[in-house]
Amino acid sequence: MSPVTPAAAGARVELLAVAKLSPLFAPQLESAFHVHQQLHESDAAAFKQAAPRIRAIAASGDSRVPASLIEQLPALEIISVMGVGYDGVDVAVAKSRGVVVTHTPDVLNDDVADLALALMLATARQIPAADRYVREERWLAGAMPLARKMSGARCGIVGMGRIGKAIAKRAAAFDMDIAYTARSAKADVPYRYLPTPAALAAESDFLVLITPGGAATRKMINAEVLAALGQKGILINVARGSVVDEEALIDALERGVIGGAGLDVFEDEPRVPARLRAMPHVVLTPHVGSGTQGTRQAMADLAADNLRLHFAGQPLKTPVPECR
Ligand code: 8YV
C-alpha cells in the first residue's frame, strides 16, 4: 500500500466523502486530506461554506455523484470511486467541467466472478435451503427434494467485459455451454454471440448479468427476457439492480415463469422487497461481489493512489474510459 501524501505543503486538500467509506479506505484519506464526511447531506450551511474549497470527491461503487452536486463544487478536480461501477457519477458533467473520474477495475474480477458461480450453484443446488434442512432436523423425516444440475448446462452471460470473461472461464471448468450478449461481438472470446438479452435468454439455463448499470441498461432484463429464459431458467445478477425490472422479476418468480434467481444487487439497496425475501427458490446476498478483505484492500489502495497521484501531478492509474 502506498501512503497518500498531501498535495502541497501547508493546508490539506479538502475532500468530500459522499458515502460512508470503507474502513480500509477512510484512514488512508484521513491521514492525507481534510475529509468532509457526507457534509452535503448532514449540514447544508457548513457544506455551503466548505464547497468552494473542495477539490476531491471520494465515493464507492454505489454512490451517487449527480450533476447538482458537481455544480456546487467549483474547485473540484477529481472524483475517485472505490468500485469498478461508476453509474452513479454524472461523468459527462464532470468531464465538461474538467473533473477527472477514476475507478478500480480488474482488482475485483476474481471475487465478483467467484460470487456469480457461488450464486449459480447455491440457487441450482439449493444450498441455503439444504443448510436449513439440516439445522431444522427435517432430514430426520426424510431426504431433501432433488435439485438441479449445473455442470454441462447452458450459461448465458450478459456483458463480456473483464468480469464477464472471468465468469466464462469458471463456467467452462463446469463444462458449461457458454454464450453471451454485449453491445457488439468480441473478437477475443471463443463464445457464441447473440444480439439481444432475449435471444440469449431463450438459449440459456443460467442467465448471468454482469453489464454496467446506467441509462443504457436500465430494466434491460424485463418480462419479455424472463419469459424467454423460461420456467427452468435461473437468473443471476452480480451487476446492478437497475439492470433488472425488479417488479417483473418478482412477478416471474411468483408465477413460475422462471425457475429461480441468485441476486447480489437490488433496485433500492439495502431495501429488498418482502416478496423477494419470502421466496424459497431465490438466493440473496447483500451486494458483496467484491467483498473480501484482500480485494477491498486492493480497491481502497487503488482509489487512494489515484487521489495521491492526481495531487502530485502524476499520471493516474485507472481513469474511467471516458476520461482517458
Ligand atoms: C461495491 C461495486 O459496491 O465495484 C463495484 O462497482 O459495486 C462494489 O464493489 C463497492 O464499490 C465497494 O466500495
Ligand 1 center to 135 CA (angstroms): 33
Burial class (CB in 10 A: 0-12, 13-18, 19+), 224: middle
The mean per-residue pLDDT over the stretch 67-84 comes to 98
The mean per-residue pLDDT over the stretch 196-209 comes to 98
* pLDDT at res. 126: 98
Same fold, 14-107+293-323 and 109-284: yes
| CB 200, CB 181: distance < 8 Å | yes
pLDDT tens-place string over residues 218-238: 999 999 999 999 999 999 999
Residue with cell 468552494: 52
- Average pLDDT taken over every residue of the chain: 96
Which residue has its alpha carbon closest to ligand 1 atom 1? 61
Q: How far apart are CA 121 and CA 11, in angstroms?
A: 53
Ligand 1 center to 160 CA (angstroms): 18
| CB 156, CB 179: distance < 8 Å | yes
Question: With 70 as the cut, is the pLDDT of residue 183 above it?
Answer: yes
Ligand 1 mutation target, pool 18, 21, 29, 62, most atoms within 8 A of CB: 62
* pLDDT at res. 10: 58
Burial code of 45-79, b = ≥16 C-beta within 10 A, e = fewer? eebeebbeebbbbbbbbbbebeeebbeebeebbbb
Q: Name the CATH superfamily housing domain 14-107+293-323.
A: NAD(P)-binding Rossmann-like Domain (3.40.50.720)
* Residue 40 confidence class, pLDDT cut points 50, 70, 90: very high
Which residue has its alpha carbon closest to ligand 1 atom 5? 83
Which residue has its alpha carbon closest to ligand 1 atom 4? 83
* ω into 270 cis (within 30 of 0): yes
Ligand 1 center to 299 CA (angstroms): 9
Domain ranges of the chain: 14-107+293-323, 109-284
Domain 109-284 has CATH 3.40.50.720: yes
The mean per-residue pLDDT over the stretch 33-58 comes to 97
The mean per-residue pLDDT over the stretch 125-132 comes to 98
Query: Which residues are part of the catalytic machinery?
Result: 240, 269, 287
